[in-house]
A and B are shown apart, each in its own frame.
Chain A
C-alpha cells in the first residue's frame, strides 16, 4: 500500500468518525446530562438542515446560514422543553412516546411547508490532491467542526458558570435546588444547548446529503448507538464511542464494502454493550 492510499483510507476513517460525532453530540448532551431519551433527535437534525437551507437561500452564505440554522433549532428546543418535555422528567416510557409523537408531527409539518422534494446546499469549497487521490476540502472542515463541537461542549460545561451549575443539577438535583440553583431553568437551557448542537450537525449534513423530511431517520439509529455505547458521560463517552464505532466502520468499509462496514459497526456495538452495559464511560467510571 503506497502512502497516498494509506492517507486516503486514514482520511476517510477520520471522516466517518467525525460524521458520527456531529450527529450524536447533541443527543449526548440531552441524554448524558438529563437522562432524556429524545426520539425526535433525527428530526432536530432535519430541522437544522432545513433551516440552514432556508437561510442559505436568503443569500447569507453557508457558515452564517449554518449558525443561524443551529440557533433556530435551539430556540425550537427551548420551546419544546417548556411545552412538552418538562412535564415528563423521570417518566421514561412517557418521554419516549411523547418525543416519538413529536418526531412524527415534525416530519409532517416540514412536509407541508417544504414539500417532499429534495433540497440541499452545494458542498462548499473544492478538492485537493494527494498523490493520485483527490479529496473534498469540506470533509476536512467537517473533521475540524466535529472537534470544535466537542471542544465547545467541554468549554461550556467546565469553564462557564452555567455549565458547572448544569453538572451539579445533573449529579444531585435536590441538593442543587437547595443551594439556590434554578434546576428547571437549567434543564431548559441544557435542552436548548443540545438542540443547538443537533441543529449544527444537521446544517453540516445539508451540504453533504439530500435533505428530505425523513432525512433524520437514517442518522438517528447511529446517534443512539454512539450515545448508548459511549455511556452517560457526555464528552468522553461520545468521543470514545465515535472513535471506536466510526473507526471500525471506516476501516472495514475501505477494506471490503460499505455493506460490511455497516454490519461491523452494529456488531461492535452489540459486543460492547454485552460486556459494558453502562457504556464505555460507565466502565471507566468517568462522569464527564
Chain B
C-alpha cells in the first residue's frame, strides 16, 4: 500500500500540471479576435473600432456568415469614401459560435479589453439580451442590426431591424383584402412565435378579419399531419405562418403535398429566414406571401449598386443578400453618419446625433432613425414566391413607422426607461 501511494503522487502532479498548461493554451487560443484588434486605443485619433459579434460557426452561421461579409463590405465602403472625420473604421470581430454565454463573454471583452467605440451584432433575440446588459453596464453604444419581435426601449441601444409590428402591419390587411377574412395561425412554440401570433391576432382584428384558430408547434416537431387536418377542418381563407427553422420546412411541404397551397395562400413573416424558398421546389413554395424591409428584387439604383458590390466582393454565385445583411450595411453607414455629425465617438454625443434625424438611402429604401424609440423607419415590401426560388415584390408600403414602439416608449422624455415591452 505505501509504495503505490508514493508512486501515485508524481503521476498526479504531472497530470495536474498538464491540465493546467492545456487549459491555459486553450483559453488563450479561443480568446483571439479574428481581425486585427489593436490594444489600448485612443478615443480621438486612430481608427474607430466597431466591435462585431456574429456567429460564424454553429447553427446560426447560416445567418451570421453573410452578415459578417456585409459588415466587412460596409466598413471598406465607408473607408473608401474617406472614412469618418478623417479616421478609418476598423472591425473587431469575435465568433460567439451560436452560444449565448460566449456572447456575454465577448461583449465584455470588446467593451473592457478592446475598448471599442460601438458594439454591433447579435442575431437571435436571446443573444441580443445577452449583449445588452453588458453594453449598458460598460456604457458602450450598441446597435442591433436584425429584424426582431419589437419592444426594446433602451437609451443606449439602437434597433436597426424591422419589427414584427412593422412587417406584419401591411401584410395582414393585404392578405385579408385579397383573399378573405378567416385566418388560421400556426406559430413556432417559443417566445418569438408567441409574440408573433399575438401580433397577427391583433392586426387581423384591426383589418376586420377573424382568427379561426391559433396552433403552436414545438420547434422539434416535423409531423404535420394533425395540423394539416385541423386547417382543413377550419376552412380558412388564408393561413398565417410564423414557423421557424428547418424542422418547420416540413409544414410547407406537407401543405403543398395535400394540395392546399392551390386554394389557400400562406402569409408568413418568417418564411425565407431559414432559406425555405431555396430548399422547396417552386410548386411547393407556390402562393406564399412574405414581408420584410428588403428583398433582392427591390428596384432601386442603391440596390443595383449594392448587389453589384455584393457579388464582386463575395463571388458571382454567392447567395443573394437578405434583410439582415442589408440591416448590417445600413447600420454601419448610419453609425458613420452619426459620428460625423457628432464630431466624436463619445457615446452621448453620437446618441444625440443619431436622434437628430439621420437618413440613409439604403438598398431596400430610405431608412431613418426614429428619435423617440431608437428604432428605424423602413419601406416594407410585400413579396410573393416565384418559380425561380426567389421572391417577386407585389406591394411596397413606404416609410412604415414603429407605431407600437412609439406608443409605449419615449426615450427623449423618459431616457431612463430600460426594458423590453411586449404585447400582453
Chain A interface residues (CB < 8 Å from chain B):
5, 8-9, 11-12, 15-16, 19, 116-120, 122-123, 126-127, 129, 132-139, 208-210, 212, 214-215, 218, 249-250, 253-254, 257-259, 261-262
Residues of B within 8 A of A (CB): 59, 61-62, 189, 215-218, 220-230, 232-233, 235, 246-247, 249-250, 253-254, 256-260, 274-276, 278-281, 283-284
The 4 lowest CB-CB distance pairs between A and B, nearest first, are A136-B257, A253-B226, A122-B281, A127-B259
Residue contact A212 to B281, C-beta cutoff 8 Å: no
| CB-nearest residue of chain A to B254 | A136
11 A-B residue pairs with CB within 8 Å? A5-B233, A15-B223, A117-B279, A118-B276, A118-B278, A120-B253, A123-B253, A129-B259, A249-B223, A253-B227, A254-B229
- Check A208/B221 contact, CB under 8 A, given A253-B226, A258-B215: no
Which residues of A are found within 8 Å of B222, using beta-carbon distances?
Answer: 208-209, 218
With most chain A CB atoms within 10 A of its CB, the pick from B225, B233, B260, B279 is: B225
Q: What is the minimal beta-carbon distance from B148 to any residue of chain A, in angstroms? A: 22
User: Do the beta carbons of B218 and A123 come within 8 Å of each other?
Assistant: no
Contacts A134-B258, A218-B220 given; indicate if A122 touches B225 (C-beta within 8 A).
no
Pair B258/A135 contact, Cβ less than 8 Å: yes
**Which chain A residues lie closer than 8 Å to B230 at the CB level?**
254
| Cβ–Cβ < 8 Å partners of B254 in chain A | 136, 208
A256–chain B nearest beta-carbon distance, Å: 9
A253 to B217: give the CA distance in the assembly, Å.
11
B217–A259 CB distance below 8 A: yes
User: A127 contacts which chain B residues (CB < 8 A)?
Assistant: 257-259
Whether A259 pairs with B189 at a CB distance below 8 angstroms is yes
Report chain B residues within 8 Å CB of A135.
258
Contacts of B216 in A (CB 8 A): 257, 259
B226 and A209 within 8 A (CB) = no
A118 adjacent to B218 (CB under 8 Å):
no
Task: Point out the residues of chain A lying under 8 angstroms from B275, CB to CB.
Answer: 117-118
Inter-subunit contact B59/A261 (CB<8 Å)? no
Interface centre among A5, A129, A135 (most CB of B within 10 A): A135
Which chain A positions have C-beta within 8 A of B229?
Answer: 8-9, 12, 133, 254
Contact present for B259 and A126 (CB under 8 Å): yes
Chain A residues within an 8 Å CB radius of B61: 116
Whether A250 lies near B274 (C-beta < 8 A) is no
Specify the chain A residue showing the minimal Cβ separation from B263: A134
Given A123-B284, A127-B258, A209-B222: 13 more A-B contacts, CB < 8 Å:
A8-B232, A12-B229, A117-B278, A118-B278, A126-B257, A126-B259, A133-B229, A135-B258, A210-B247, A218-B247, A253-B227, A258-B224, A259-B216
Q: Is B284 within 8 A of A134, CB to CB?
A: no
Q: When chains A and B are docked, how far (Å) is the Cα of A209 from the Cα of B228? A: 15
- Bound CA–CA A134/B274 (angstroms): 27
Quick one: which of A12, A118, A122 contacts B226, CB cutoff 8 A? A12
A250 with B226, Cβ < 8 A, contacts A134-B232, A210-B246, A258-B217 known: yes
Chain B residue numbers with a CB within 8 Å of A257 are 215-216, 226
Contact B233 A209 (CB under 8 A): no
Question: Contacting A134 at CB < 8 Å: which of B220, B247, B253, B260?
Answer: B260
Rounded to whole angstroms, the CA-CA distance of A122 and B221 in the bound complex is 19
Interface residue from B218, B223, B258 paired with A19 (Cβ < 8 Å): B223
Q: Are B259 and A16 closer than 8 Å at their CB atoms?
A: no
Given A5-B233, A12-B225, A132-B232, check contact A118 B257 (CB 8 Å).
Answer: no
Given contacts A118-B275, A262-B221, contact A138 B257 (CB under 8 A): yes
- Complex Cα distance, B62 from A119, in Å, reads 13
Q: How far is the CA of A261 from the CA of B229 in the complex (A)?
A: 14
Give Cα distance in the complex from A132 to B220, angstroms. Answer: 29
Partner of A119, one of B189, B258, B279: B279
User: In the assembly, what is the distance between CA of A215 and CA of B247, in Å?
Assistant: 8
- State how many angstroms separate the Cβ of A126 from the closest Cβ of chain B: 7
Knowing A209-B249, A212-B246, A258-B227 are in contact, say whether A136-B221 is a contact too (CB < 8 A): no
CA distance A9 to B227 in the complex (A): 11
| Nearest CB in chain A: distance from B236 CB, A | 13
B223 touches A16 (CB 8 A): yes
- Neighbouring A residues of B274 by C-beta, 8 Å: 118
